[in-house]
């Protein structure tokens, strides 16, 4: 079906901030359709004549795109893209874009919050005081972070922002990332081997995408190599941690605790073994969802679509650029 007046059709899967949607209104060659029903059947019914798709965190399987033969871009409202069928898009020559460093500060701030909340037993102390248990102060000690080593697994945009904030607390920064030019960051201690890095870290924070090589990156073996009393943080992607192994490690008293914003299953089921742990601080995959960041991410998502239409797309934001024809 041809859309009216030969205008380009953009399907916005999951509503984005209104100021971002308003950017489309500055163009008279674009029509926009917002989908709130993210079922595969509904997506498939609306993208057949789409020129572009924006997508937040809803699953976007290849079968939903089978009839979308005119797509010029899939623009992710974020930096992860494990919900997009990358191989399918590459085969069809469809660029998949991310928003770059737009959400880096918000996620770094949230990771800092998780680290402090775990180190200082924030959630446990809050509950105890509300329940009249002031005596918990004599039973549980907290972790002083000054002089401790923070290991960043992944030293990209968010990892660097988190490192800058952690230095203010007196943490020493180490990193494991084979893709970074180390000559540009002389104030970071880089490790070539992950097990060796884990053994020296007091806090381990994950900042890598989810893929076949990173799924369950932190498994039972990795957890065993971490220092007794260490802290584990994940505001990147669910699936990077073997959650059953994490529960076992906490049961054994090996770690001080963990701070998790993302999970292998989302929403986290109420009967999940993680839920019963008082030494885990949870948040509902909301690290980037500040009011400011939602607007900025939405605008960046829309700008990628407009750039694709105009032939000015930034190649550094195309995650499958090396495989496109």
Residue 34 phi/psi, 5-degree rounding, is: -100, 125
Rounded to whole angstroms, how far apart are CA atoms 119 and 176?
Answer: 22
Q: Are residues 13 and 162 in the same domain?
A: no
Q: Provide the pLDDT confidence category of residue 323 given band limits of 50, 70 and 90.
A: confident
| Position 244 in a domain | yes
Q: Are residues 124 and 268 in the same domain?
A: yes
Q: Are residues 23 and 81 in the same domain?
A: yes
Chain-centroid distance of CA 166 in Å reads 19
Q: Are 44 and 66 in contact (CB under 8 A)?
A: yes
| Position 3 in a domain | no
| Position 158 in a domain | yes
Q: Are residues 97 and 107 in the same domain?
A: no
pTM for the model: 0.91
More confident residue, 80 or 146: 146
**pLDDT at 267 (0 to 100):** 95
29 by Cβ neighbours in 10 Å (0-12 / 13-18 / 19+) ranks as exposed
For the annotated catalytic residues, the residue numbers are: 237, 266, 285
- % the chain with pLDDT above 90: 95
What is the domain range of residue 92?
Answer: 8-101+291-323
Q: Are residues 202 and 262 in the same domain?
A: yes
**pLDDT at 1 (0 to 100):** 45
Q: What angle do CA 113, 193, 159 make, to 5 degrees?
A: 25
**pLDDT at 163 (0 to 100):** 98
Tell whether the model's pLDDT for residue 126 goes beyond 70: yes
Q: How many domains does the chain have?
A: 2
Tens digit of each residue's pLDDT (9 = 90 or more) over 64-79? 999 999 999 999 999 9
Tell whether the model's pLDDT for residue 3 goes beyond 70: no
């Amino acid at each position: 079906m041809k859309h009216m007046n030969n205008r380009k059709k953009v399907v916005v899967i999951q509503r984005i901030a209104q100021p971002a949607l308003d950017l489309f209104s500055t163009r008279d060659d674009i029509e926009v359709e917002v989908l709130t029903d993210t079922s595969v059947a509904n997506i498939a019914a609306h993208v057949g004549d789409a020129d572009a798709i924006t997508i937040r965190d809803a699953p976007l399987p290849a079968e939903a795109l089978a009839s979308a033969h005119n797509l010029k871009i899939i623009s992710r409202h974020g930096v992860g893209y494990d919900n997009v069928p990358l191989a399918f898009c590459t085969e069809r020559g469809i660029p998949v874009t991310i928003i770059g460093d737009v959400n880096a500060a918000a996620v770094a701030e949230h990771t800092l919050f998780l680290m402090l909340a775990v180190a200082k037993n924030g959630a446990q102390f809050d509950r105890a005081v509300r329940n009249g248990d002031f005596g918990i102060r004599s039973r549980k000690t907290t972790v002083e972070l000054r002089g401790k080593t923070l290991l960043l697994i992944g030293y990209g945009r968010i990892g660097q922002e988190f490192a800058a904030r952690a230095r203010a607390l007196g943490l020493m920064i180490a990193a494991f990332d084979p893709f970074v030019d180390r000559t540009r960051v002389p104030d970071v201690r880089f490790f070539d081997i992950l097990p060796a890095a884990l053994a020296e870290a007091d806090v381990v924070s994950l900042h890598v995408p989810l893929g076949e090589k990173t799924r369950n990156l932190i498994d039972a073996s990795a957890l065993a190599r971490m220092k007794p009393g260490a802290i584990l943080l994940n505001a990147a992607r669910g699936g990077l941690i073997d959650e059953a192994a994490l529960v076992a490690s906490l049961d054994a008293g090996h770690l001080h605790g963990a701070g998790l914003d993302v999970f292998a299953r989302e929403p986290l089921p109420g009967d999940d073994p993680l839920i019963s742990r008082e030494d885990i601080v949870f948040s509902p995959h909301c690290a980037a969802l500040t009011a400011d960041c939602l607007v900025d991410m939405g605008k960046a998502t829309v700008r990628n679509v407009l750039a694709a239409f105009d032939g000015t797309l930034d190649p550094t934001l195309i995650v499958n650029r090396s495989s496109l024809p």
